[in-house]
Amino acid sequence: MKEETCGWRARIGVLSPPNPNIICEWNGVLPEGVAFCTALMELAETTPEGLLKMRQSAVAEARKLADWLVDIILFGCTSGSFIGGAGYEESIIKELETAVGTASTTTSTCVLTAFADLGVKKIALIGPYLREVFDAEVQFFKAHGIDTLYVEALGYREVKDFVRLHEQPYLYYRLAKEACQSAQNIDAIFITCMASPARKIINILERETGRPVISSCSASLYGVLKQLGIKDPLEEFGRLGRMLGES
């Protein structure tokens, strides 16, 4: 009988809108014995209204993840977990844990944890959202003591445009360099949205800018592993990823 090795250490369930990027960002980075699976939430368009509506499918999809006996469920959408304002992410966690009985978190929760652990108070913010979604993100961070000194919004609305983002990591490299040049008094660069590719550029940007570079994908994995008590460093996720091995 072949020994089962998939997820022998921990299993992560990810609730997500359509997003192939998480596979690209997490595969090959996960610590030994850690596995993840995804369940897709319904998202028609990435407007504030669409993002709020997406939550309606979260519990049903979380129950599917629970059938896989996951150790934790991540509501893996940045905008979907901040769009309702400060405290919205906490209400998502409470709803999931009550309905499914599995420890849960959100991408926005993990991002706030990453900022706190790195001592980040001032950020440059880049990503694919519409401007009104970015406005909500800036206000969400402000409510948690984080000032946004620079914003670059790609202005995407259609879900298909987000699905294709994983093909463009070097677009984010240029955006991040421009952000750092324009806002020199920042503590970190935050590449928002789980669909934003950053794994290939985080260490390069940190060397060239001298600042931590955090992405939604890196912060989510950091936060989940920290909650699970897994301390293996994530070298490809820069300064944040290495902090796991230092705790």
- Rounded Cα distance between 73 and 135, Å, is 27
pLDDT digits (tens, 9 = 90+) for 108-138: 999 999 999 999 999 999 999 999 999 999 9
Q: Percentage of residues in the chain with pLDDT exceeding 90?
A: 87
Q: Using the structure block, give the residue that is written with the tokens 């934790």.
A: 72
Least confident of 121-125, 128-132, 168-172, 201-205: 168-172
In this prediction, residue 1 carries a pLDDT of 29
12 forms beta bridges with 36, 72
User: Hey, what domains does the chain have and what are their CATH numbers?
Assistant: 10-107+223-230 (3.40.50.12500), 110-217 (3.40.50.1860)
- Pairing mode, strands 72-75 and 34-40: unpaired
Of the pLDDT bands very low, low, confident and very high (cuts 50, 70, 90), residue 184 is: confident
In this prediction, residue 169 carries a pLDDT of 82
pLDDT digits (tens, 9 = 90+) for 220-230: 999 999 999 99
Q: Please check whether residue 173 is in contact with residue 198, taking contact to mean a CB–CB distance below 8 angstroms.
A: no
> What mean pLDDT is predicted for residues 166-176?
88
In this prediction, residue 168 carries a pLDDT of 82
DSSP 107-161: HHHHHHHHHHHHT--EEEEEES--HHHHHHHHHHHHHTT-EEEEEEE----SHHH
> What mean pLDDT is predicted for residues 152-159?
89
- Pairing mode, strands 147-153 and 104-106: unpaired
- Rounded Cα distance between 130 and 137, Å, is 11
Of the pLDDT bands very low, low, confident and very high (cuts 50, 70, 90), residue 5 is: low
Q: Is the pLDDT of residue 4 over 60?
A: no
In this prediction, residue 247 carries a pLDDT of 64
- Rounded Cα distance between 107 and 158, Å, is 21
- Number of C-alpha atoms within 13 angstroms, CB side, residue 207? 7
